[in-house]
Structure 1
Amino acid sequence: MNHVRIESLTATIVDLPTIRPHKLAMHTMQQQTMVVIRVRCSDDIEGIGESTTIGGLAYGNESPESIKQNIDSHLGPLLVGEEASNINAAMQRLDKAAKGNTFAKSGIESALLDALGKRMGLPVSELLGGRVRDSLEVAWTLASGDTARDIAEAEQMLEMRRHRIFKLKIGANPLEQDLKHVVAIKRALGDAASVRVDVNQYWDESQAIRGCKVLGDNGIDLIEQPISRINRSGQVRLNQMSLAPIMADESIECVEDAFSLAADGAASVFALKIAKNGGPRAVLRTAQIAEAAGIALYGGTMLEGTIGTLASAHAFITLKQLTWATELFGPLLLTEEIVTEPPVYHDFALQVPRIPGLGLTLDEDRLAHFSRR
């Protein structure tokens, strides 16, 4: 196995339709665009990974186009000829040669793990230390922006036993309008559901003081990234005063961010995202920092498709505790698939397969159909 080499690494942009527009504070998604990464090894085993952003450059520093370009021109050529099974050496080589690019690196690491799992006959979770559960509870984002429609959608999800945790994207509208919208939904759902909000940094600190108080007083369970990641002292103040726990998301752009956030006491919950940490192995380092500091964990998403979702899930099922569950619902937003085995959701949870690697096979015809030309 030590003599197995990486022969090629390719990146393909894929555009998949969604069930509805997905409204965020900074962007409204009309479709989901992902980069599918394929690593071909000298033993004819292929690993697949995914790099996906929310809204491209509207969210962060990488876009699908830049991810593909950097993989094709820089990151991929660095790995051709390297040992396919030595993921540690491969990722260190990338980190030394290229700063940042965590989304691209995450997809590459996922593909290397998938190939290694297939080679060894083990699920990726076992390569990451071993699973302690087989499923993960999954939240659903209510993002229509219409209060009555969001309530009806949540009630339908509860009846189907698909979701009982709901997150609302707020911040784009005036503060009082958003607060009224959230409180009305919580009152309608009552104790049958957990209701949370994600502000995506769109409040200033004065708005956040007001918003966190109203939300906490009205039973909202969690407030995600209410103010700018740059305002670290403000995050500390809000974390100390808010009745509802504050979760850091955009504040964590690398593993080192997790350490400084924990040291400052800037959040009581961390959102874990493989894309923002650089891969499934990297996100577990952030989780270890949080666990050592007594900070609770939440399994986040960049609304990846099935490949990226299962790469995240294989990491998350190895964790001792996910106090705030996960939001690995990305595949449920899509109307089309590019894999032969769609993910299984039932009893409020995503079921994580025990098949070697990520447990997925690409549907070549559908991949070709939805690939960008």
Structure 2
Amino acid sequence: MKIQDVEIYYFDIPLKEPFTITLGTITTSSGVLIRVVTDAGITGIGESSPFQPVTGDTQETNVVAARAIREMLKGKDPLAIESAHKLVGGFLHSNPALIAAFDMALYDILGKAAGLPVFRLLGGDKTTFETDVTTGIDTPENMVKSVQTRLAAGFKTFKIKVGMDPDADVARLQAIRDAIGYDYGIRIDANQGWTVAQAVTALKAMEKFKIQFCEQPGLYSDIAGMKQVRDESPIGIMADESLFSPTDALKLINAAACDYFNIKLMKAGGMTNGLRIALIGEAANIRCMLGCMIETRLGLTAAAHVHGACGNIVFADLDGYFSHTFDPIVDGMAVKDGMITLPEKPGLGVDVDPAFLKKLKRV
């Protein structure tokens, strides 16, 4: 089997409303759709969902890199995923989200060729698991409304964005707990928004809210600061923006800087590195979460296959498409009452609506 062509499309979906975190506000999911076409009649699909303040790449840098990678992969064996990574690995640091798109497309082909869903091909048997749903930074009143709407939709665990003024963040969480009580899980994400001193103060004040863990309290590069926060915080610390690669995982372990890992395909460069990070975490007794940017259900389904394949991934934050104005994806993972169910079709078990595909701008 050989790769005949790679189709590249601009992949834009507006959000229902602006989504704000400490790093900025997002109004559109702007990525790249990849279709890897083989001479055996099998096509694999993938998507990038870059967020420049975190991943460093953009839709435009992804498009430029995708043109080059297309020429590099033509004529190559799509089942040789390891070799493909070595061939295009130079793009990983500058365009991790795009490498994730190609990686998931190759796994899609591999699963289809084997006649197995990817998570089963990788040895997994986890077909269902819970995901949280995220509420962005807003007024306490609006954040309460957001949580209550999602509670009514069946979700039982809520990820709350924080990282602004610690007192204001405490007030937001107080309002949410007052509204929903303590029967539902809350985890928080500061997105690097606090200093070490602010993080310690905020997390001590938030202990009473029964927070599961806090993602990335401080600057991604301040590993020593993360360790200090971990040492002084009553709430467990999860590395996010500090964790892109398997090498980063080793550095965090050696520094004893965190309690948990947040793996995102768009940071790691795809399923291959996502699995590697999860297994490194397992060796160090560090449990993992599978997170996301604002992918469609295409990219989220690929992430869900990684979750389903690895027992050390025990948390999920795969809610990116809930903020989209429409869902152009056919099949793929299903979400009901906060529970994800994986598809059993060969490959990723997901596709893009042909009518929507015709409307996309092709590169």
- Is residue 236 of structure 2 the alignment partner of residue 245 of structure 1? yes
Q: CA deviation at 1:207?
A: 1.0
Aligned to 1:115: 109
Aligned to 1:212: 203
Moved more, 350-359 or 333-342: 333-342
Aligned to 1:8: 5
Q: CA deviation at 1:140?
A: 0.6
SS of 1:192's partner is coil
User: Structure 1 stretches of 5 or more lacking a match?
Assistant: none
The aligned amino acid for 2:125 is V
CA RMSD of aligned residues (A): 1.8
SS of 2:5's partner is strand
Give me the whole-angstrom Cα distance separating, in 2, the residues matched to 1:121 and 1:177: 52
Aligned to 2:344: 354
Aligned to 2:55: 60
CA offsets 1:72-98 (integer angstroms, 9 cap, x no match): 1x2221111111211121112212676
Equivalent residues in 2 for 1:130-145, closer than 5 Å: 130-143=123-136, 145=138
- Is residue 278 of structure 2 the alignment partner of residue 281 of structure 1? no
Give me the whole-angstrom Cα distance separating, in 2, the residues matched to 1:224 and 1:208: 11
Aligned to 1:157: 150
The aligned amino acid for 1:203 is W
Change (3 A) 1:98 1:137: closer
Q: CA deviation at 1:52?
A: 0.3
SS of 2:44's partner is strand
- Is residue 360 of structure 2 the alignment partner of residue 365 of structure 1? no
- Is residue 82 of structure 2 the alignment partner of residue 88 of structure 1? yes
Aligned to 2:215: 224
Give me the whole-angstrom Cα distance separating, in 1, the residues matched to 2:207 and 2:63: 42
Give me the whole-angstrom Cα distance separating, in 2, the residues matched to 1:179 and 1:58: 25
The aligned amino acid for 2:126 is R
Change (3 A) 1:240 1:306: same
Aligned to 2:18: 21
Change (3 A) 1:342 1:279: closer
More strand by share: 2
The question of whether the paired residues in 1 share the 8 Å contact of 2:304 and 2:333 is answered with no
Change (3 A) 1:31 1:203: same
User: Structure 2 stretches of 5 or more lacking a match?
Assistant: none
The aligned amino acid for 2:211 is I
Q: CA deviation at 1:217?
A: 3.5
Change (3 A) 1:98 1:182: closer
- Is residue 297 of structure 2 the alignment partner of residue 299 of structure 1? no
Q: CA deviation at 1:19?
A: 2.2
Among candidates 107, 119, 123, match of residue 125 of structure 1: 119
Aligned length: 363
TM-score (norm 1): 0.92
SS of 1:297's partner is strand
Among candidates 72, 80, 96, match of residue 78 of structure 1: 72
SS of 1:184's partner is helix
CA offsets 1:295-339 (integer angstroms, 9 cap, x no match): 12111111211110001000111111433x211111222222222
Change (3 A) 1:145 1:96: closer
Aligned to 2:38: 41
SS of 2:32's partner is strand
Equivalent residues in 2 for 1:190-205, closer than 5 Å: 190-205=181-196
Aligned to 1:167: 159
SS of 1:361's partner is strand
The question of whether the paired residues in 2 share the 8 Å contact of 1:186 and 1:219 is answered with no
The aligned amino acid for 2:325 is T
SS of 1:59's partner is helix
Give me the whole-angstrom Cα distance separating, in 1, the residues matched to 2:178 and 2:280: 36
Aligned to 1:102: 96
Give me the whole-angstrom Cα distance separating, in 2, the residues matched to 1:184 and 1:322: 30
Give me the whole-angstrom Cα distance separating, in 2, the residues matched to 1:126 and 1:132: 6
What fraction of aligned residue pairs are identical, expressed as a percent?
28
The question of whether the paired residues in 1 share the 8 Å contact of 2:131 and 2:340 is answered with yes
Q: CA deviation at 1:341?
A: 2.8
The aligned amino acid for 2:99 is K
Aligned to 2:175: 184
CA offsets 1:242-296 (integer angstroms, 9 cap, x no match): 1110010000121100011011110001001112111112111100111111112
TM-score (norm 2): 0.95
SS of 1:303's partner is coil
Give me the whole-angstrom Cα distance separating, in 1, the residues matched to 2:137 and 2:230: 29
Give me the whole-angstrom Cα distance separating, in 2, the residues matched to 1:118 and 1:9: 17
Moved more, 149-158 or 190-199: 149-158
Give me the whole-angstrom Cα distance separating, in 1, the residues matched to 2:91 and 2:268: 17
- Is residue 324 of structure 2 the alignment partner of residue 331 of structure 1? no
Give me the whole-angstrom Cα distance separating, in 1, the residues matched to 2:339 and 2:18: 23
Moved more, 211-220 or 33-42: 211-220
CA offsets 1:166-203 (integer angstroms, 9 cap, x no match): 111122x4331122112221232222211121111111
SS of 1:240's partner is helix
The question of whether the paired residues in 2 share the 8 Å contact of 1:21 and 1:144 is answered with no
